[in-house]
Amino acid sequence: MSTRRSATVLLLAAASAAAIWSGYVRPMQRLQAAEAASRERTQLEQHIRTEDIAFWMKRASEDPQSAEDRAMAAGLLLQRAREGGGLDDYRAAEALAREALALRGERNGKAGLVLASALLAQHLFPEALATATDLVKASPEATAYRSLLAELLVEMGRYDEAGAQFDSLAAVRRSLSVAPRYARYLEFRGENDRARRVLIEARGEALAQGNLPREQVAWFALRVADIHLRNGRLDVAERVLEEGLRDAPDDGRLWALMARLHAARGDWERTLEAVDRVGDSMDIVTRSLAGDAWAALGDSARAREAWHATEQQALANPEPFNRQWTMFHLERGMDLNATRALLEQEIHVRTDVFGWAQLAWARLQTGDVPGAQDAIARAMATGTQDGWLFYVAGLVAEGAGDDVTARRWFERALGVNPHFHHRYADDARGRLARD
């Protein structure tokens, strides 16, 4: 080959490589630009909301008799709390809503709705349920009140009553205020596929509206990704999370779920990277997951440090019916008698599926096999199809000496979701393999 021709070939190769690189770089640049624009919009929304809160708080301080000013400030605090503002904002929203209701009890549904929602966020379920019930009695035609009441009935484990409320909302069950709540109810009834379709449709509607705050759009992505993850569709869940993060690149809730997804795959480095992105909104599950990741990577010191931080977080912000906290203890065999006593006490008030399942596991770990059998039977009675639930049923059956039934439950757990837990899915497989 001549020198001229060789040079030409090299030039063509370089041009081709440049074209390929350009084709790669430009989409990357567009993605980065889109993320920057989304982050800027989110920051602007947060700035406006902070100014609005200050405005209504100032008005409330200047007018001790204004229920409306307090209700407005409370609603904005509630919204900021949902974006990651934290427990202090929920408590402030609750306090202002109570002040507003004390000033005007009648025709003050906005304050009542904020109060019930703030109580729900703090896991003060009985008080929230009482408030929502009063709202529905006063205005039975109001969709927002009735759907919140239905949600609270689900959280309390009163599924038949919740179903009756959702039946009364049949005409509006596809609305954004009802659909996510209805989907959660369907999951407890074992209708996972239907619940997933409801959530996907709701997210599509949220995206189509184009005028919702970023935190609300991100929340719909979170719900859709979560139900995919809990049903073993990891690739789909990851794609939805990535789409959500393009709209809200700093959303801690999305990063927390991304950490769970990477943990389900056993990708511990990426788990820790996602945990680092969660920020101030880190919950008990995410913080303890960081400990599990460090343990899996062989760094026991950092694992203990993360688990200790988890304990300190829970102790600093105690809350009732904290299923994350009791699960943290049960997974590690910590404070089992105290954890069981707490679950025994709470199940008399909140008779939900996972409360019964955790109690079954606590009873099993404290040597009460008959009690565990009774609790897991109650947990299964609703028809919920969940991998971890079936895994606990298998452990209880195994503890009772019924290896045939145990095997069936372990198989069902993995059938619902081969990745139902970053540790216990492999444990279920191991138990099946040794039979």
C-alpha 360/C-alpha 339 separation (Å) is: 12
Strand, coil or helix: 178: coil
Any domain includes 74: yes
Question: Phi and psi for 126 in degrees, rounded to 5?
Answer: -60, -40
Q: Higher confidence at residue 71 or residue 12?
A: 71
The pTM assigned to this predicted structure is: 0.88
Lowest mean pLDDT, pick from 52-66, 189-203, 222-236, 369-383: 52-66
DSSP string computed for 54-65: HHHHHHHHH-TT
Cα–Cα distance for residue pair 153/132, rounded to 1 Å: 10
Mind listing the pLDDT tens digit for each residue in 101-138? 999 988 899 999 999 999 999 999 999 999 999 999 99
Q: Provide, rounded to the nearest whole percent, the portion of the chain with pLDDT above 70.
A: 90
> For residue 178, what pLDDT is reported?
97
User: Domain for residue 98, yes or no?
Assistant: yes
> H helices of 63-105, where?
67-80, 87-103
Q: Do the Cβ atoms of 144 and 177 come closer than 8 Å?
A: yes
| Summary mean pLDDT of the chain | 91
190-199, 311-320, 420-429: lowest mean pLDDT where? 311-320
On whether residue 340 sits in a domain, the answer given is no
Q: Which residues contact 272 (CB under 8 A, 6 or more apart)?
A: 259, 290, 293, 294
Residue labelled with tokens 């997804």: 261
Checking if the pLDDT of 15 tops 60, the result is no
Letter string b/e over residues 2-14, b meaning 16 or more CB atoms within 10 A of that residue's CB: eeeeeeeeeeeee
Tally of structural domains, the chain: 1
Task: Choose between 260 and 28: higher pLDDT.
Answer: 260
Contact by Cβ (8 Å): 68, 75: no
Taking a C-beta distance cutoff of 8 angstroms, is the pair 169, 145 a contact? no
Residue 234 lies in a domain: no
Model confidence pLDDT, tens digit, residues 200-222: 999 999 999 988 888 889 999 99
Q: What is the DSSP letter of 171?
A: G
Domain of 62, CATH number, reads 1.25.40
Which domain covers residue 83, as residue numbers? 35-122
| Average confidence (pLDDT) over 153-172 | 97
Rounded Cα distance, 47 and 190, in Å: 42
Question: Helices 284-296 & 252-265, crossing angle to 10 degrees?
Answer: 30
Q: What is the secondary structure of 208-229 as a DSSP string? A: HH--S-HHHHHHHHHHHHHHHH
* Lowest mean pLDDT, pick from 57-66, 161-170, 389-398: 57-66
pLDDT above 50 (res 395): yes
Question: Is pLDDT of 20 > 70?
Answer: no
Residue 399 domain flag:
no
pLDDT for residue 7 is more than 60? no
> Mean per-residue pLDDT for 311-326?
91
pLDDT (0 to 100) of residue 12: 52
Does residue 57 lie within any of the structural domains?
A: yes
Q: Identify the pLDDT of residue 279.
A: 85
pLDDT above 90 for 87: no
Q: Is residue 52 assigned to a domain?
A: yes
11 located within any domain: no
CA dihedral of residues 203, 208, 213, 216 (deg, nearest 10): -10
Provide the pLDDT for residue 32. Answer: 59
